[in-house]
Chain A
Amino acid sequence: MSDYRIQGATGDWEVVIGLEIHAQVTSNAKLFSGASTEFGAEPNSQVSLVDAAMPGMLPTINGECVRQAVRTGLAIGAEINKYSVFDRKNYFYADLPQGYQISQFKHPIVGHGTVTVDLESGGTKEIGVERIHLEQDAGKSMHDQHPQYTYVDLNRSGVALMEIVSDPDMRSPEEAGAYVTKIRTILRYIGSCDGNMEQGSMRADVNVSVRRVGDPLGTRCEIKNVNSVRFVRQAVEIEARRQVDIIEDGGTIDQETRLFDPVKAETRSMRSKEEAHDYRYFPDPDLLPLEFDDAFIEAARDSLPELPDAKKARFMEALGLNDYNASVLVAEQVSAAYFETLVTAVAKATGKSEADVAVKASNWLTCDLFGALNKAGISITETPVSAEQGAGLLALIEDGTISGRIAKDVFEIMFETGKDAADIVEEKGLKQVSDTGAIDAIIDEIIAANPGQLAQYRAGKDKLIGFFVGQVMKATQGQANPGVVNKLLKPKLDG
């Protein structure tokens, strides 16, 4: 249970949130035509006769989009409907060439499923997914190109979308944000959507209502087309606050569609319930019901990679990672892949088991590499230090060639130059000195040069051992193996 509450003048309010996520299906062609779906092409350069709704043109289903929807359903453990129906959703708009959107209304391709989201508190929460259905995207109206005219770009018209409809299970902006993040992670893992919200290939309609804890659901408002996780969280917070203020002022909430304005930090009415369209859904007579068999579903299942929840569990159970590190690493498939390559390479280089090296590797990755990437403002896909190179560095620490302290310096150089750790250590002469003979000689010199400190130590000031260690490290420019130094120094000081 979330304890997130909107504090009103008359008491606390609970927020109820449901999300409809529109995710563009990764496929080379549109849902019902052969036109390309590449982002950023010249306006109206990727429009087939079907997309432009030329008279007599007919839709034909793109099997790849069906497969991707089924894979997505399987990835959230949902029921897959072997029989589904495409319906027409009728409304007029300039960027909707057919005058209807082909969607799925009564019989969606994917039924109920569940997503487990990670919360900042460290806990998790199950969010229900009511359904996933396939539908066409509309084109794009451009109102700012000409003083009198609106221009229409149909490149997006007919592109396949999955509409992922959640149950009203979220109770805080954080949960809503975590849900969007988790859905995006899953879609990216299985490759059914690239999840790029800034390019519009994933966007969310956010349904928000408020109520007293324990009361029935309040009237909801739908905030359309929110296009980042941060905006989802902000929109929930701002809309919930708006609703609480209205109710506490004695007003009632009108069910309506609203827009979120992140600049003004407000939501605005788009159209009221009275202005809402009557979409006149009916089965599209141009398309037969969509039917497939168990073999199709099983082939889709076999094509799924290890999913983030399973991966996280494996990282924790088999490799001993803590919850935080495991969560961070599985959040992006590319991070997880980096980690797995890293661990395998370190284990191989050191002859140790993966479980023995994994924790250190995860710490280095989440702290050192991610820290450096963050600072440089680049993503892991652009990292100048490959997983193999990272493993080279960790192996040098593991076998005692360099100290953890020196490793930090070496890593900095690696990050700047892209060079291998071993080459840098060699070039700069940074090898840790573990040769007891050499260290012995230095210790003897230091003890001889500091008779006063020696006397104090022997008089009972034990802490002075730190002084001697420091002097030895200084004399060896940090390359002496601290373990070896301690081991040799103590008997000599004790006499």
Chain B
Amino acid sequence: MTDLTKMKIAEARDLMKAGELSSRELTEAHIAAVDAADSLNAYIVKTPEIALANADAADKKIKAGNQKGMTGIPVGIKDLFATKGVHTQACSHILDGFKPEYESTVTQNLWNDGAVMLGKLNMDEFAMGSSNETSYYGPVKNPWRATGSNNDFVPGGSSGGSVASVSGYAAMGATASDTGGSIRQPASFTGTFGMKPTYGRCSRYGMVAFASSLDQAGTITRDVRDGAIMLEAMAGFDPKDSTSVDIAVPNFEAALTGDIRGMKIGIPQEYHLAGMPGEIEALWHQGIEWMKAAGAEVVDINLPHTKYALPAYYIIAPAEASSNLARYDGVKYGLRDAPNGGNLDDMYYTTRASGFGDEVKRRIMIGTYVLSAGYYDAYYLKAQKVRQLIADDFKRAFEKVDAILTPTAPSAAFAFGEKSDDPLAMYLNDVFTVPASLAGLPGSSVPAGLSADGLPLGLQVLANAWDEETVLKISGVIEQAAAFSATPSEWWR
């Protein structure tokens, strides 16, 4: 019998349309798979009752001839998307017990399409991290292991639960969010397809904020087509988010023509990092060859301000975070740790001291510092100027090329603890993903090969704002060319 949990969204959709598969069957298989994947720690809350109710509603919808792209498809939801009446805590202790009275627009769009919710997914606390080691609910394990090894690896972050659930056959797709690389880097680490759309394409309403000018919802799926289907369901203008943009959502799946003949693909010379592993360079070179073979023209380009992207990001994102996280104060919801006889300030100190983890505290302190009187101009303002220069770099590049191809991350997945004591080493994971985030551009990570140790590696595709179709089209060509068929060993099942 076919393992329904290894099916792609597109296949399941077509089978359900043909009446050969019910969402109920599909969902029951996935509920079992979610339980079987407990050791990955991808899910922090399971919602099988909701899933089954969703599935039955989806089956009715399909019978009535109202099937849409995501109808009846079981998905996992990153814990920072507000889900009405269901645990929504961004994997932070400080939001203990918080169940919102409202639904995020992105998840509401999925439910409107008829998608099935399997549960809430683990993540780095408030999406701050690149290894999913900062979650209050413990780290997520990467379903992939090195060849011949039983050692665990990180799944990347912050969308660690999203990638582990999809790569570990415990969801057909998962919502994720990307602030500086939180979709693309973990997708690269787990052999999944990660898609971050243009800033403003998906509503941020109901998404727990990390850095408002950077946060953008996106997808984790097992292939490019699934990403196109799922993103189309999630995206769209939302008057409840002032930064959401009123531009029609195209039929993303239709972009997957496989035809990139005559397109110009830029190779940014600044992404050749000194000391980068040879296998990453080799993979990138392989990607360039695939592009040429598919009839695209490959040109070297310059993005001269690339080296300033990471420092600028680690000023802007913490600055916004320090303000966004001020609302977690023990007054209204979540954790309250008020010492006996203490005053309001004491309540703030103890609540925030015990409620936030180390990485979150580090970023709140950095952010508070860079916004302080006397430092604002030297740090925050300068970082904003750098951000503009980086956006201008891309703008100039896209006058010459249709897309940009780079590695997604400078390495394959690493071991637990390997970088968690060294914030700078951890931050370097985002070196290739952060520039596009600062410029608000759409980007993907496509599984393209394996490291010498047998761990997945991804290639990043970037395109101009609102041109997700080009990202998807080129991603599809890489997927075809790479014919990435390796799978994890299912040790967790």
**Which of B80, B241, B243, B331: most chain A CB closer than 10 A?**
B331
Q: Which of A52, A152, A280, A285 contacts B212 (CB 8 A)?
A: A285
A window 88-128: CB within 8 A of B: 88, 90, 92-94, 97-100
Do A282 and B82 have beta carbons less than 8 Å apart?
no
B100 pairs with A55, CB closer than 8 A: yes
In whole Å, how far is B208's beta carbon from the nearest beta carbon of chain A? Answer: 5
Across the interface, B208 reaches (CB within 8 A) one of A49, A55, A286, namely: A55
Q: Given A55-B98, A98-B326, answer yes or no on A287-B88 (Cβ-Cβ < 8 Å).
A: no
Q: Which of A55, A58, A286 contacts B95 (CB 8 A)?
A: A55
Partner of A282, one of B88, B101, B323, B326: B323
B368 — which chain A residues lie within 8 A by C-beta?
280
The residue in chain B whose Cβ has the minimal distance to the Cβ of A54 is B100
- List the B side residues contacting A94 at CB < 8 Å: 329, 331, 344
B304 part of interface (Cβ distance < 8 Å): no
* B: interface residue count bin: 35 or more
The smallest C-beta distance from B79 to any residue of chain A, in angstroms, reads 11
Residue A199 is within 8 A (CB to CB) of chain B in the complex: no
Residue of B nearest to A59 (CB): B242
- A-B Cβ contacts below 8 A, count: 99
B308 CB within 8 Å of chain A: no
> Which residues 103-127 in B have Cβ within 8 Å of A in the complex?
104
- A residues near B240, Cβ cutoff 8 Å: 58, 60
Distance of A280 Cα from B239 Cα, bound (Å): 28
Residue of B nearest to A49 (CB): B102
Interface residue B373 (Cβ < 8 Å from any Cβ of A): yes
Assess the A99–B327 pair: CB atoms within 8 A. yes
Neighbouring B residues of A278 by C-beta, 8 Å:
372-373
Q: Complex formed: what's the CA distance from A58 to B102 in Å?
A: 13
**Does B205 sit within 8 A of A, measured CB to CB?**
yes
CA distance A371 to B327 in the complex (A): 54
Inter-chain contact B242/A61, CB cutoff 8 Å? yes
A55 engages B90 (CB within 8 Å)? yes
Residues of A within 8 A of B26 (CB): none
Cα distance, A97 to B326, chains bound together (Å): 9
B416 neighbours in A (Cβ, 8 Å): none
* In the assembled complex, A353 has its CB within 8 A of some CB on chain B: no
Contacts A58-B240, A90-B371, A94-B344 given: A282-B319 contact, CB under 8 Å?
yes
Of chain B, the residue at the smallest CB distance from A286 is: B212
- Establish whether residues B100 and A97, one from each chain, have CB atoms under 8 Å apart when the complex forms: no
A56/B327 in contact, CB under 8 A? no
CB distance from B98 to the nearest CB of A (A): 7
> Is there a chain B Cβ closer than 8 Å to A455's Cβ?
no
A97–B329 alpha-carbon span in the complex (Å):
9
CB neighbours (8 Å) of B208 from chain A are 55-56
Interface string of A274-305 (1 = CB under 8 A from B): 00001011100111100000000000000000
- Which residues of B26-68 have CB atoms within 8 Å of chain A's CB atoms? none
Contact partner of B242 (CB less than 8 A), chosen from A52, A56, A60, A92, is A60
Chain B residues whose C-beta falls within 8 Å of the C-beta of A88 in the assembled complex: 323
Once A49-B101, A97-B332 are accepted as A-B contacts, the answer to whether A282 and B376 lie under 8 Å apart by CB is yes
Please name all residues of chain B whose beta carbon is closer than 8 Å to the beta carbon of A285 when the two chains form the complex.
Answer: 211-213, 243, 320
Considering the complex, give the chain B residue whose CB is closest to the CB of A50.
Answer: B240
Per DSSP, chain B at the interface is loop
Q: Which residue of A lies closest to B80 (CB)?
A: A56
Nearest chain A CB to B341 CB, angstrom units = 9
Using Cβ atoms and an 8 Å threshold, which residues of chain A touch B88?
Answer: 55-56
A391 to B241, CA, bound (A): 56
Q: Does B225 contact A (CB under 8 A)?
A: no
CA of A313 to CA of B98, assembled, Å? 62
A407 part of interface (Cβ distance < 8 Å): no
Closest residue to B333 on the A side, CB-wise?
A: A54
A49 to B101, CA, bound (A): 9
Interface presence of A28 (CB below 8 A): no
Q: Which residues of chain B are near A93, meaning CB under 8 Å?
A: 344
Residue from A54, A88, A98, A288 with most neighbouring chain B CB atoms (10 Å): A54
Q: Is A53 an interface residue (CB 8 A)?
A: yes
Q: A97-B331, A99-B327, A280-B368 are in contact. Are A54 and B102 (CB under 8 A)?
A: yes
Specify which chain A residues have a CB less than 8 angstroms from the CB of B329 in the assembled complex: 92, 94, 99
User: Complex: how many Å from CA A288 to CA B241?
Assistant: 10
A59 to B324, CA, bound (A): 13
Q: Compute how far the CA of A99 lies from the CA of B209 in the bound complex, rounded to whole angstroms.
A: 14
Q: For A56, what are the chain B residues with a Cβ–Cβ distance below 8 Å?
A: 80-82, 88, 100, 104, 204-209
Verify if B394 is at the interface (C-beta below 8 Å from A): no
**A150 on the interface (CB 8 Å rule)?**
yes
A152 touches B371 (CB 8 A): no
- Among the listed A54, A61, A90, A287, which residue makes an inter-chain contact with B326, where contact means beta carbons less than 8 Å apart? A90
Assembled-state Cα–Cα distance A93/B344 (Å): 8
Q: Which residue of A lies closest to B101 (CB)?
A: A49
Q: Are A92 and B212 in contact (CB under 8 A)?
A: no
Measured CB to CB, the closest approach of chain A to B344, in angstroms, equals 6
Given contacts A56-B208, A150-B344, A285-B211, contact A99 B323 (CB under 8 A): yes
How many whole Å from A213's CB to the nearest CB in chain B?
Answer: 34
Shortest Cβ distance from A227 into chain B, in angstroms?
24
Contacts A56-B205, A282-B376 given: A99-B241 contact, CB under 8 Å?
Answer: no
A59 to chain B: which residues have CB within 8 Å? Answer: 242
Contact (A53, B327) CB under 8 Å given A94-B344, A285-B213:
yes
CB distance from A255 to the nearest CB of B (A): 15
6 pairs, A vs B, C-beta closer than 8 Å: A54-B100, A56-B206, A57-B102, A59-B242, A280-B371, A288-B243
Given contacts A280-B376, A282-B376, 8 further A-B contacts (CB under 8 A): A49-B101, A55-B90, A56-B82, A56-B204, A94-B329, A99-B327, A285-B212, A285-B320
